[in-house]
Amino acid sequence: FMALRIAVNSEFEELQEGLNQAYLAIKSGGKILAISFHSGEDRIIKNFVRSHNLIPFKLIRPEQNEISQNPRARSAKLRIFVKP
């Protein structure tokens, strides 16, 4: 079901476009925050960071108490990058 939803909603393309627009909207030294919930999204974010030479700033993952209260949060990653 997830693959169908991703395809129908063009989720990967929307993520890519959102990252592009964020990059254009910020000045040098500005930060982009991107959250992913599965490996496909995370791969798009990491490829974008590499292709735009962004500087990794921070990776935040859910703490164990959050995962125990919300098991679906276990795969979430919040990545923060800085535009050089």
User: What does pTM read for this prediction?
Assistant: 0.85
- 54-77 tens-digit pLDDT: 999 999 999 999 999 999 999 999
Q: What is the DSSP string of the chain?
A: -HHHHHHHTTHHHHHHHHHHHHHHHS-TT-EEEEEESSHHHHHHHHHHHHHTTPEEEEEE---HHHHHH-GGGGG-EEEEEE--
Tokens 């993520």 -> residue: 15
What pLDDT is attached to residue 63?
A: 96
Q: Which domains does the chain have, with CATH numbers?
A: 2-82 (3.40.50.150)
